[in-house]
């Protein structure tokens, strides 16, 4: 179930307001002694997060399906996708929904009941925790998220059932801008920089990749080298962008890689202002990357 982006915080009776995490969405399945962790695009990530799988295996129900986010927290207890992507810190699983338990299929039950089942199952540990409920007041929740530096707030109708699609029964409000972009090329390095200068970025609209600007910050030397190696088999002579790219020294790539960036805002001509590279995402298909409008 995916939340719909809205442009302003709100408060509403019968809704709860949770911390929005900056990590990788993951479904966890437990069937007897077997545990599987599956990403949004159904890639098995059990071997990548064995400590989380082991913690889920210890949960009491024999059969279980829970929904959450794999995250790494910084020293201020704020989740950071960049830390997770770089393998720094301890991955944890922040769980916010229960789809199935020994009681049976819970997807048609109200969120209030699913959360109650979840709270009876999940005992906070070093690897698994319940998602944080910030406040019953959505405006106060947004103030907390903004003050603490969270990505934002997820707002949920306690009466809602679980549906496998984007819904307006779950809404999200961002405290700062962060999103995914398709890498369609790179520029040559200048000065003492090695490998490449900046990444050329795009988003899809009506099956066309539109140029969204470039990002040249957020990289260290090791990251530059690693990305450059990934780029080599993707080099192509023709631009993948449907809109013009005015970069003299551009090398174009097949649009196969997705990057996550933080930025301050979109400009009027559809470009990013002050973007910073955070990492690659392998749980999103390039064609899923579109500009998110509130």
Give me the residue spans of the domains in the chain: 1-16+136-175, 22-130, 177-288
Instruction: Tell me phi and psi for residue 221, to 5 degrees.
Output: -60, -40
Residues classed as catalytic: 20
pLDDT in tens, 176-185: 778 999 999 9
CATH 3.30.1490.70 for domain 1-16+136-175: yes
pLDDT in tens, 106-138: 999 999 999 999 999 998 888 999 999 999 999
CATH 3.40.50.261 for domain 22-130: no
CATH of domain 177-288: 2.40.50.140
> What's the pTM value of the predicted model, to 2 decimals?
0.79
Please tell me the predicted confidence (pLDDT) of residue 262. Answer: 85
Distance CA 257, CA 282 (A): 8
Residue 184 to residues 37, 115, 153, 198, 240, Cα–Cα distance (Å):
30, 41, 31, 11, 6
Distance CA 56, CA 36 (A): 9
Beta bridge mates, 213? 201
On whether the CB atoms of residues 248 and 187 are closer than 8 A, the answer is no
State the Cα angle at 219 between 215 and 224, rounded to 5°.
Answer: 100
Share of the chain above pLDDT 70, in %: 99
Per-residue pLDDT band at 103 (split at 50, 70, 90) = confident
pLDDT in tens, 16-56: 999 999 999 999 999 999 999 999 989 999 999 999 999 99
Please tell me the predicted confidence (pLDDT) of residue 294. Answer: 45
Residues contacting 47, CB < 8 A, separation 6+: none
Per-residue pLDDT band at 265 (split at 50, 70, 90) = confident
Per-residue pLDDT band at 293 (split at 50, 70, 90) = low
On whether the CB atoms of residues 37 and 50 are closer than 8 A, the answer is no
Mean pLDDT of 143-156: 92
Distance CA 64, CA 102 (A): 7
pLDDT in tens, 160-177: 999 999 999 999 998 877
Sheet holding 15-20, edge to edge: 2-5, 166-174, 152-157, 15-20, 133-135
Structure token digits, residue 44: 């098995």
Distance CA 89, CA 159 (A): 36
Mean pLDDT of 202-212: 95
Nearest CA to 21 out of 42, 3, 43 is that of: 3
Instruction: Tell me phi and psi for residue 220, to 5 degrees.
Output: -110, 175
């Amino acid at each position: 179930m995916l939340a719909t982006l809205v442009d302003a915080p709100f408060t509403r009776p019968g809704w709860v307001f949770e911390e929005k995490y900056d990590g990788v969405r993951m479904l966890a399945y437990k069937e007897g002694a077997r545990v599987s962790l599956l990403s949004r695009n159904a890639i098995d990530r059990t071997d990548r997060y064995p400590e989380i799988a082991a913690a889920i295996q210890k949960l009491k129900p024999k059969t279980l399906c829970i929904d959450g986010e794999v995250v790494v927290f910084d020293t201020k207890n704020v989740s950071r996708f960049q830390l997770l992507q770089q393998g720094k810190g301890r991955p944890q699983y922040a769980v916010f929904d229960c789809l199935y338990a020994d009681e049976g299929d819970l997807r048609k039950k109200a969120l209030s009941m699913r959360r109650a089942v979840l709270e009876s199952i999940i005992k906070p540990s070093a690897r698994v925790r319940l998602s944080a409920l910030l406040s019953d007041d959505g405006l106060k929740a947004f103030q907390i998220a903004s003050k603490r530096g969270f990505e934002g707030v997820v707002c949920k109708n306690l009466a809602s059932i679980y549906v496998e699609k984007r819904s307006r029964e779950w809404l999200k409000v961002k405290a700062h801008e962060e999103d995914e972009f398709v890498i369609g090329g790179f520029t040559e390095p200048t000065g003492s920089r090695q490998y490449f200068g900046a990444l050329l970025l795009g988003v899809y609209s009506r099956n066309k990749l539109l140029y969204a600007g470039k990002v040249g910050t957020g990289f260290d030397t090791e990251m530059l080298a690693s990305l450059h190696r990934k780029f080599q088999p993707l080099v192509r002579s023709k631009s993948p962008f449907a809109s013009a790219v005015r970069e003299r020294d551009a090398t174009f790539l097949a649009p196969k890689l997705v990057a996550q960036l933080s930025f301050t805002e979109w400009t009027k001509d559809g470009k990013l202002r002050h973007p910073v590279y955070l990492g690659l995402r392998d749980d999103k298909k390039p064609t899923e990357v579109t500009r998110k409008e509130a």
